[in-house]
Structure 1
């Protein structure tokens, strides 16, 4: 019973954090402040009271619509909260020390935020990416794979320039992952991401796919496998 309660608390903590990150991603993608104004309906601009801000439950309790103007609430918010809850339990189960918990949590927190921004605007914001990467390097306290990162950046940079198949943000994220984990690991993550993108393309059928979410899923698969 206690273990079940712990997992419920972990899931809800992850869902709450994901809800906040999803809001930050929306505002950053639209070049808005992440602090002001308070949470509000994007249709009628009405500020939301506290009882409408419970992750998971408020979305269902409001029947997926704004309480004031009845505008539909994006289901992406609810899915983001579920993903965040699942990630919290996954991180808890796959880490054994406090340092691992912090570094893995920070890793997936950044990937979650970058993925939602990429879905909306297909960009990787350097003011978020660089502090995230530097913090990971400090938390992991391992020797950076600098030469491998430079090599991969040059190769993928040329590929992105001539083929237009990758964006600069995709190359930057892969270079950062190579700096952290080395060329072998980042190559596997890239392979997983490409395979997932091939599976996702027939479902989405967009002329340009945001690739950072697939790379993030590739990182998750690497940890899982």
Structure 2
């Protein structure tokens, strides 16, 4: 129980850290500051989840609202790493892969584009996992099993109904975990988008384009926790 709590908060810290450096300048390190008033944050304002709650979701200096996405991604980060096994090679490999998937989701939320280098590193991790724990025949079988879904998603990419990053995300989790989990992730993420889209569309956005990767990552985190 204690280890799970530690894992949760460790994951929340990583999610907060990645979100802050991505939203400021795209993976450039500098001291954290309020994006509204530009005041540097004190140490007491840097505790994921707790700082948001104690400050009632506002900046202590300018009183402007802190984006709720930060709290959301911190909680999702905690859920993602809740069951991480730090004492096994597979657990460490999965940790680094999930960090990259989390980074993709955050990039997609803020910019709706992802640096291709992140995809390359993610695929490299998948290959390392396959070489260490699987056989080449298993990789070939996985590719054949997902070929129909890959073609279907590829058509949606060509029709500009889906981003190329979404297709790459599907490939990564399909080969690393299983095509069954990848299909479930897309199913639940699609249901979440269909649920939220009418409400967001009605608010104020005429040409609403929702980033899909945050929904995919959230679905992956929840399903991993339940399985």
- TM-score, normalising length: structure 1: 0.78
Measured on the aligned residues, the alpha-carbon RMSD in Å equals 2.9
- Higher mean displacement: 211-220 or 123-132: 211-220
Residue 10 of structure 1 contacts residue 85 of structure 1 at CA under 8 Å; is this kept in 2? Answer: yes
After superposition, the Cα gap between the structure-2 partners of 1:56 and 1:178, relative to the gap in structure 1 and judged at 3 Å, is closer
Cα distance in 2 for residues equivalent to 1:193 and 1:63: 29
- 2:196 matched to 1:200? yes
Give the conservation status (yes or no) of the 8 Å contact 1:66–1:72.
yes
| Cα distance in 1 between the residues matched to 2:75 and 2:179 | 32
Structure 2 CA distance for aligned equivalents of residues 33 and 20 of structure 1: 10
| CA shift for structure 1 position 35 | 0.9
Question: 123, 140, 145: which one pairs with 2:113?
Answer: 123
- How much has 1:19 moved relative to structure 2? 0.8
How has the CA–CA distance of structure 1 residues 203 and 115 changed in structure 2, closer, same or farther, with 3 Å as cutoff?
farther
1:43 touches 1:71 (CA, 8 Å); kept in 2?
Answer: yes
Tell me if 1:82 matches 2:79: no
| 1:173-212: CA deviation from partner (whole Å, max 9, x where unpaired) | 2233344356555334333332333233234336322221
**Residue in 1 that maps onto 2:4:** 7
Corresponding position of 2:18: 21
| Matched residue, 1:109 | 99
Among candidates 21, 31, 35, match of residue 42 of structure 1: 35
Give the superposition deviation at 1:151: 6.5
Unaligned runs of 5+ in 1: none
In the alignment, the residues of structure 1 paired with residue 219 and residue 61 of structure 2 have an alpha-carbon distance, to the nearest angstrom, of 40
List structure 1 runs of 4+ shifted beyond 4 angstroms: 149-155, 181-185
Distance 2:49 2:219 in 1: 26
Q: Which residue of 2 aligns with 1:134?
A: 124
What's the counterpart of residue 176 of structure 1? 172
Aligned residue pairs, count = 214
TM score, norm. by length of structure 2 = 0.77
Q: CA deviation at 1:50?
A: 1.9
Give the deviation of 1:166 after TM superposition: 0.6
Q: Within 2, Cα distance between the matches of 1:169 and 1:181?
A: 18
Equivalent-residue separation in structure 1 for 2:211 and 2:29 (angstroms)? 26
Q: Distance in 2 between matches of 1:114 and 1:6?
A: 27
